[in-house]
Amino acid sequence: VDGPEKAGLSWEQSYLPSFNLGGIFPPLATPFSPTQEVDYAQLEGNLRRYASIPFRGLVVLGSNGEYPYLASHERVEVVSCVRRALPRDRLLLAGSGCESTQATIELTVSMAEAGADVALVVTPCYYRGAMTTAALIHHYTEVGDASPIPVVLYSVPANTGLDLPMEAVITLAQHPNIIGIKDSGGDITRMGLMVHKTRQEDFQVLAGSASFLLASYAVGASGGVCALANVLGDPLCQLDHLCRKGQWQEARDLQHRLIEPNMAVTRRFGIPGLKKAMEWFGYYGGPCRAPLAPLSPAQVEELRSTFSANGWL
């Protein structure tokens, strides 16, 4: 067994070097060719464009990366491709969550070998009724113990139907290899309480959406993993900068202009909407992998109108 138990240390006595998660991370969309293959050339092209934006790092194979539709070997190869193109001073967070603890550990190790800096581990959810607080603590503890890289918890109840319980978060924050959580639920009270209850630990809270980024920073979040950053990366980095400088009026004005576009590429039109919007801003969006369907012409027009009405097109 690796981890603190092997060294005879408790969680409180052992620790890994801190990772600064402060800043904006786009959860990259995975490009596919018209024949549904991962298009690595287009991925590299998008990465070249993102290199000029002051992101803290990138997330691969989160929800917006269509990870449930990729085979394990594809997920590892995407990590390898992004790592080759990404400067070492930018963090690479890789979604390694699977339904079983064993599969999650195996994929996490493979992604670490491929160059991931941090593993982003979504809550297992297929047997949702059995995912008690104790079961989730056990799952994440096993992953944290075995992972050669730090772990960030990932709670996305809109997709999993499961909110990682506060008790589990507080307990897991004590683990030396679990360094934070990406919380996409949008409950600012919960996020603030998480920050407060884990303040004695080396643990950071990341907002999971651009719609509530400013509010998350106000209650102590460290950064944001925001789908909209695939499209409007510079404005989101500017919002991050304004919040850190305490320029709250300017930050509020910018936040207001981001809410409707963000809702459009997440809750309203999802990944097909995100990929369509990427094309308007010079990135490759392309098709989603089936069974996700493209937008209808009417939906495309509604999406474009949303961006135009907020001054982005």
| pLDDT in 10s for each residue of the chain, 313 residues | 333 333 333 333 333 336 899 999 999 999 999 999 999 999 999 999 999 999 999 999 999 999 999 999 999 999 999 999 999 999 999 999 999 999 999 999 999 999 999 999 999 999 999 999 999 999 999 999 999 999 999 999 989 999 999 999 999 999 999 999 999 999 999 999 999 999 999 999 999 999 999 999 999 999 999 999 999 999 999 999 999 999 999 999 999 999 999 999 999 999 999 999 999 999 999 999 999 999 999 999 999 999 999 999 9
What pLDDT is stored for residue 87 in this prediction?
92
What pLDDT is stored for residue 8 in this prediction?
39
Q: Domain spans of the chain?
A: 23-258
What pLDDT is stored for residue 267 in this prediction?
95
Given a contact cutoff of 8 angstroms between Cβ atoms, the answer to whether 144 and 117 are in contact is: no
Chosen CATH of 23-258 out of 2.60.34.10, 3.20.20.70, 3.60.15.10, 3.90.1720.10: 3.20.20.70
Q: Is 225 annotated as a binding residue?
A: yes
Does the annotation mark 6 as catalytic?
no
Which listed residue (67, 154, 217, 284) is catalytic? 154
Does the annotation mark 217 as catalytic?
no
Structure tokens at 161: 């139907």
pTM metric for this prediction: 0.92
Tell me phi and psi for residue 101, to 5 degrees: -65, -45
Which listed residue (67, 140, 182, 275) is catalytic? 182
